[in-house]
Structure 1
């Protein structure tokens, strides 16, 4: 798998740096087949991460999908992962720009959409409006994917995959209790270490990390402490790329779990939307998840999958099968030409 780092500088119309990565296999970058309506037949995947994790957390998933595409009878052209402005590499670039801005799903969605709009000016120009796009998001990343489709901009996904989306179709105490717990956890978490090795030892004991995922987090979710460049008594330790304050701001997005439901109601009837939950409802309660997928709500999901022995951090804890018999999970709907890519992802991984 080849990787290209992409940085978009602030513009008069968008105030933050955007950090993204392009992932591809060399054999995929040749001539790509187009449908008769001018759109690519091959898929371009757009990945959005969960709160407090960097975009690179998706890399094992992307690598597996790119290398296993031949098993499905369809091709993935390339994939992109995008940092929220206050996460990962983007957080470092945006030092001093974010302040106490109203962080949340809207911040992430606007950033991701701006990146797609910047496609023609990338080092390898891309017209994303002509790409066969699949949006894939975990937690708040999934909510941002939904918000992107509600924007009045002509770049749309052909299908969507939501992993443990932070959505509440029937607002109640369940989500508010979770919000309070997450905000408190953000402020109480340790955020300074002498070096990355010390940070890795600390996080190894916090959740059931898969070693590869932990390595990625330590490399991209941890940064040099901002004071390491101070002229007097610099501190050469490390800290979280997404600060405790910024993480808490993400959770405090007042309507972030409820307002997008109206957009989802529309999207579900327009394109295939797949939902994946961990089998253990350790974040949003089971009743909230059931309320989201309730057929009586009018929301029509292409598939609802539960992966046993995992919870909300399903991609972080284990390298596990996505779903043994899932079909069409990444396939866009048939277009005007009657062309629809059929992808069987029984051998892919979710982490």
Structure 2
């Protein structure tokens, strides 16, 4: 099945910390097939990636979903965080001369951009399913902030290895979390980010953590779409390592997302997908479906893989998403 892709550039909302006229861009890509384009009653799937990734990492999953559930899906959209993927390239000059150079671009700002996209005329009348991985999961939850329960835009929410966590739970497990975070930030800041060619970069990554556990298609997507031609020759990561490192300590959006789940999960079905060997402790996983806090889960699925299960086992993640889409079939064609 041949996927048709259409890239667009979306102007992000002005952020209060930035100077007038400082408007970042968000790169997005639409996926459909010749058949699905005419299926306007089908679902529109929205995808948000994890820290250090890019929108095309979802492509193996999107391809499998269209193959297995082509009659249920109208289109899919995937978004690059303002510092990641093609967005990072588009915003490079602004990021180098704005407060974002020091503070990064928070997941709150990515939330605002995706929420503005969801409210845009392009999405009017669409029946949407929001899907996020890790920090992208928190981002998708937060796109519902300030929206009345009767007007929530999604038919379902699918969170893959979400790092959404309550403030209390974060500080309860802080002794384990802070050393891990400090290690990841230090390793990211010192990581190699330039190679002579995409082929060299792919071969180098294939022998090293974390890429050595990835599905070959995910590694191909990284070498094809996660790298940009560098001045003077060679290739460089589209997401500057300094910007990626700034994203990890940005924990407030994860706290806010946990609170938001308590508000919206009774109105929109929330489906959780975990890797068997993921990053999030079981006690934190359980907290995301703690009914006493208002958080409920319509389903919980476990698949083989770790925290990077989107890259490690894309077929299993796609199958888990398809199972959720099956629960929406009876409502196909209804208007939200």
**Global fold match (TM > 0.5):** yes
Q: Quick one: distance in 1 between partners of 2:182 and 2:234? A: 30
Q: TM-score, normalised by structure 1?
A: 0.80
Alignment match, 2:266: 269
Q: Does 1:185 align with 2:160?
A: no
What is the RMSD computed on CA atoms of the aligned residues?
Answer: 2.6
Query: Is this contact kept in 2: 1:132–1:332, CA < 8 A?
Result: no
Mapping of 1:256-335 within 5 angstroms?
Answer: 256-281=253-278, 283-308=279-304, 310-322=305-317, 329-330=324-325
The 3 A distance-change label for structure 1 pair 178 and 316 is same
Q: Does 1:25 align with 2:49?
A: no
Counterpart secondary structure, 2:143? helix
Q: CA deviation at 1:15?
A: 1.0
Q: Quick one: distance in 2 between partners of 1:108 and 1:46? A: 14
Mapping of 1:79-228 within 5 angstroms?
Answer: 79-99=76-96, 100-101=99-100, 102-118=104-120, 120=121, 126=122, 128-152=123-147, 156-169=153-166, 170-172=169-171, 173=174, 174-206=176-208, 207=210, 208-225=213-230, 228=231
Query: Is this contact kept in 2: 1:279–1:311, CA < 8 A?
Result: yes
Q: Quick one: distance in 2 between partners of 1:31 and 1:325? A: 22
Q: Quick one: distance in 2 between partners of 1:11 and 1:164? A: 28
Q: Quick one: distance in 2 between partners of 1:79 and 1:10? A: 20
Alignment match, 1:8: 10
Range moving further from structure 2, 292-301 or 265-274? 292-301
Q: CA deviation at 1:265?
A: 0.5
Q: Quick one: distance in 1 between partners of 2:322 and 2:54? A: 28
Range moving further from structure 2, 89-98 or 165-174? 165-174
Residue-by-residue CA offset, 1:37-76 (whole Å, 9 max, x unaligned): xxxx420000111111110000111111112115xxx510
Residue-by-residue CA offset, 1:274-297 (whole Å, 9 max, x unaligned): 01110013x222222223234444
Query: Is this contact kept in 1: 2:48–2:132, CA < 8 A?
Result: yes
Query: Is this contact kept in 2: 1:104–1:252, CA < 8 A?
Result: no
Query: Is this contact kept in 2: 1:28–1:77, CA < 8 A?
Result: yes
Residue-by-residue CA offset, 1:152-199 (whole Å, 9 max, x unaligned): 496621210000011223122143343223212211211121221221
Q: Quick one: distance in 2 between partners of 1:325 and 1:317? A: 14
Range moving further from structure 2, 190-199 or 78-87? 190-199
Q: Quick one: distance in 2 between partners of 1:319 and 1:326? A: 11
Q: TM-score, normalised by structure 2?
A: 0.84
Q: Quick one: distance in 1 between partners of 2:50 and 2:38? A: 32
User: Which structure dedicates a bigger proportion of its chain to helix?
Assistant: 2
Q: Quick one: distance in 2 between partners of 1:91 and 1:324? A: 30
Query: Is this contact kept in 2: 1:168–1:175, CA < 8 A?
Result: no
Q: How many residues align?
A: 310
Residue-by-residue CA offset, 1:258-283 (whole Å, 9 max, x unaligned): 222110111111110001110013x2
Residue-by-residue CA offset, 1:99-157 (whole Å, 9 max, x unaligned): 44242211221221233344x3xxxxx2x131100000001111100110114496621
For structure 2, list consecutive stretches of 5 or more residues without a partner in the other structure: 16-21
Counterpart secondary structure, 2:23? coil
Query: Is this contact kept in 1: 2:44–2:128, CA < 8 A?
Result: yes
Alignment match, 1:340: 331
Counterpart secondary structure, 2:331? coil
Counterpart secondary structure, 1:79? strand
